[in-house]
A and B are shown apart, each in its own frame.
Chain A
C-alpha cells in the first residue's frame, strides 16, 4: 500500500468515478497491490523473515509504500 501521506492519483480517480456510477457514500479510496507467493514446505518464522526481507528490499518500494505479510493456508496444503 502507498503510505498514507503519499498522493494516490489512481485511488482518487476511482473515488471520483464512484458517485458517477451511482455508488455513493465512499469517503476515500486508496489502492495498492498484492503479491501471492506460494512457498515450498511449511511457513515458519525463518521463512516468514525471508519473505519480509524480500518485501522490504524488492517487492515493495519502501520509499513510498508500506507492506504487511500475511500467511494463508492453500487448499492443497489443508487437504
Chain B
C-alpha cells in the first residue's frame, strides 16, 4: 500500500493483537492508568492513541493531582459581575467597562527554562501569548515572575542571563511591552528555577472566542509553523518528572525553539480572521500539541472529529504519526471554520505568509478519529482524553518539621544595638539581591512599545491604557513570597494575594480578578501535597473575602531535586481597572515638602522577613498576620485618594518593610526623606517590620486635612511619619544615609553579579 509503513499500528491491528507489549511506563503512565485506557477502548490502544493518552494524562495537562483542590476556586468563587469567562477556558475574561473585556493568565515554563534557559523562557512567552490570542483578544503586555537559586551560585549565572535574554528576545521581537513581574533568589530554587509568564489581552465583549468544535461538516484548520520534532514527549516526560540528583532529567527530549516573527504573523492573521468572523472555535497548540488541540476542541464541542494526520505540514518528513501528535512545535493554532468560510480563511493566512491546511472536519459522531494515509490509527471518545483523565486524591499530611519551623521565632535574633548598626543593616538589606533594584534585568525588556504603557517596573503594578480616547486602563501586579508560604502555606497564599491586591490598589486601580501559578514540589510527597492543599484553601478563602474570583492559571508540580522541594510558591496575579489612567498614583517621592503618611498598623513581625534572611540567614516563626478586611479598606482609601487627587505618591509595604519602600520611592523621585519614628514603635521595628495591610503615601500639604479626615472616618490608622526633603534618607535620632550612597548600594548589586 503506497505511503503506508508496514509497522503502522492501526486500530484494526491493535484490536487483533491484544498481547503486544506497549511502552506505557516509558511514556509516564502508571499501570492502572494503562489498564483504564484499555478498559475505555475495549482493546489495547494503538501507538498513536497511547501517545495521546500519555501526554494528555500527564500531570501537566490533566491536573490529576491538583484537580480536587482547584475545585475550590470555582466553589468558593465570589459573585462577580465582572467575570465574562471563568476557569476552564484558555484564559478567563473580565469586563472592564465601556464594552471592553480583558483576558489575562499566568503560566509556568519552569522545567524547559532550566534545561535551555533562553529557548525555555522565550517559548514560555510564546505559549501564554497564544493562550490570550485564542480567547479573541489582542495581546497587549507581558510580565514575568521569576525565581532563581542563590544569586552568587555559578549555575544562576548560566540560568538567569539566558532566561532574561529569552524573555527579552521573544517579547521585544513580538512587540509586546514587559510591564513587570518579580525576581527572587533563594537557594531552594537551585536546580528548579521558576519561570512564570503572564500575558494580558484586550478585546470588545462581542469578540470572545472559545475552544470548541461544533457544527457537523465544519473544517478543522491547522495554521502557523510546520510541525517538527520539537519537544516530543516534553509534556509527559519532562514537565512531570523530578530531576535526578545530578540535575539532568532522565530523558531529554528535543527543546522547542521559538520564532517570535512567526508568532507576530500568527497574531495578526488570527485577529484578522476573528474580525471577519470566520472562526467557530479555536485552540492554540502548546504542551501536548495536536493531541491536546484536537481532543480538547472535540471534547468541548459535540464530540465528533475526523483528522487526516498526513495532511499536517511537516518540517521533518521522517516523523511518525505518534510524533506528529506529540510534537510541541511552537507558533501553531487550530481553528474550526464553516465550510463556506474556508477559502477566505486560507486567503487571509496566505496574505500573512502563514501556512494553513485543512486537516479534518467536525463529524456528527462522538468519536475523535485520526487517519494516516487512509488507515485509522485513533478512535477514541475525546472526553476521555481531554477532560476525564485520572483524578488522584493524593495523601497529604502536615510535615513533622512544620512545628519546629514555626517555633523558631525570629524574636531571638539579635537586633542592631544603636543607630550606626541600624544604618549598616539598612544598607545591607537594600543591597541584598532580593531587595536590590531589578533595573539591570527590566532594562533588557521593551517596556513602552505600543505606546500605551502607563506604569512599568519598578512601580507597584504595571499599567496599560486600554482606550486612547477615554483613558480607561488596567493595572496588573504579581506577587508570591515563598518564605512566608513555607512558614504557613495557608497564610502565605493569602499574603501573596493581599500583596498583589495592595499593589494594584496603590496605583489607583480597583482590583477585579485573580490568576495564579502554583509552583510546588512533588505531589507524591505528602508534605508537599499538604502545602498545596493549604495554599489552594487559603487562596480560595481569601478570593471570596476580597471579592476577586480566580479566572484561571496553572499548576507546576515536581519542582524538586531529589527529596528537596522548592518553597511552596504561589504566584498570584491581580488585575484591576482604572477609569482614567492620568489619575494613577506613581511610587516616586518627587515633591519636597509633601507629607509622608504610613497607613495601617505596624507590629513586631519578622517571620520570613527580608531582614531575618539577609542579616541572619534565618527562616522561622510565623509570617505576618493576614487581615483581609483591612486590605480591602486600605485599597478603598488608596483608590479614593488617587481618584480625588489627595495623594501624589503611594508605595505598598511588603518584604523589606518601610525602609525598603522609602528607599525605592526616594530613589525613583530623586528626593530624600526625613522620617520620625512614631510613638509606641522602636526604630528597628518601624523600619524593618513586614506587617501586612500597609502602604506609605505622599500627601500634598493642602490635602492633609481632607486625607486624614477620610482615613479617620473610615477608621484606617494613618500616622504621619515624615516629610519629603533634601538629598538623604534621615531617620531622626538614628542615622542619615545620603541618596548617592543609598543608590550605590541599591542599584549596583545585580550589575555586579551578572553584567
Contacts and interface: CB of A to CB of B under 8 A. Distances in A.
A31 interface: no
B257 A7 contact: yes
Interface residues of B, number: 20
Contacts of B258: 7
A29 to B, nearest CB: 12
Nearest to B254: A5
Given A63-B115, A64-B119, A5 B228 contact: yes
Contacts of A8: 257
A61 B116 contact: yes
Contacts of B330: 7
A11 to B, nearest CB: 11
Interface in B303-318: 315-316
A15 B556 CA distance: 38
Interface in A1-56: 2-9, 12-13
B329 A7 contact: yes
Nearest to A12: B259
Interface string B329-359: 1100000000000000000000000000000
A9 B256 CA distance: 12
Contacts of A7: 225, 228, 230, 256-259, 315, 329-330
B754 interface: no
B116 A9 contact: no
Contacts of B315: 7
A6 B259 contact: no
B254 A3 contact: yes
Interface string B531-570: 0000000000000000000000000000000000000000
A7 B330 CA distance: 9
B230 A5 contact: yes
Contacts of B116: 61, 63-64
Nearest to B229: A5
Contacts of B225: 7
Contacts of B255: 6, 63-64
B735 interface: no
B257 A64 contact: yes
B547 to A, nearest CB: 44
B320 interface: no
If over half of B's interface residues share one DSSP class (helix, strand or loop), that class is named, otherwise mixed; here it is loop
B316 A5 contact: yes
A6 B316 CA distance: 10
A47 B675 CA distance: 65
B262 interface: yes
B257 A6 contact: yes
A4 B315 CA distance: 10
Contacts of B228: 5-7
A6 B254 contact: yes
B257 to A, nearest CB: 4
B261 interface: yes
Interface string B108-149: 000000011001000000000000000000000000000000
Contacts of A64: 116, 119, 254-255, 257
Contacts of A3: 254
Contacts of A5: 228-230, 254, 316
Contacts of A13: 261
Nearest to B319: A5
Nearest to B330: A7
A61 to B, nearest CB: 7
A12 B315 CA distance: 10
A3 B225 CA distance: 18
Contacts of A12: 259
B243 to A, nearest CB: 14
Interface in B213-242: 225, 228-230
A7 B258 CA distance: 8
A5 B327 CA distance: 11
Contacts of B252: 63
A69 B254 CA distance: 23
Nearest to A28: B315
Contacts of B229: 4-5
Nearest to B119: A64
A61 B257 CA distance: 13
Nearest to A8: B257
B120 to A, nearest CB: 10
A3 B230 CA distance: 11
Nearest to A6: B257
Contacts of A9: 257, 259, 261-262
Contacts of B230: 5-7
A27 to B, nearest CB: 11
Interface string A51-79: 00000000001011000000000000000
Interface string B245-261: 00000001011111101
A5 B323 CA distance: 12
A12 B330 CA distance: 14
Nearest to A64: B255
Contacts of B259: 7, 9, 12
Nearest to B256: A7
Contacts of B329: 7
B151 to A, nearest CB: 23
Nearest to A13: B261
B354 to A, nearest CB: 13
Nearest to B323: A5
Residue of A7, A8, A64 with highest tally of chain B CB at under 10 A? A7
Nearest to B252: A63
A5 B262 CA distance: 18
A65 B339 CA distance: 43
Contacts of A63: 115-116, 252, 255
Contacts of A4: 229, 316
Return the 8 tightest CB-CB contacts between A and B, nearest first. A5-B229, A9-B259, A7-B257, A5-B254, A63-B116, A64-B255, A6-B257, A63-B255
Given A4-B316, A5-B229, A7-B258, 17 more contacts: A3-B254, A4-B229, A5-B230, A6-B230, A6-B254, A6-B255, A6-B257, A7-B225, A7-B228, A7-B259, A7-B330, A9-B259, A13-B261, A63-B116, A64-B119, A64-B255, A64-B257
Interface of A: 2-9, 12-13, 61, 63-64
23 contacts: A3-B254, A4-B316, A5-B228, A5-B230, A5-B254, A6-B228, A6-B255, A6-B257, A7-B225, A7-B228, A7-B230, A7-B315, A7-B330, A8-B257, A9-B259, A9-B261, A9-B262, A63-B115, A63-B116, A63-B255, A64-B119, A64-B255, A64-B257
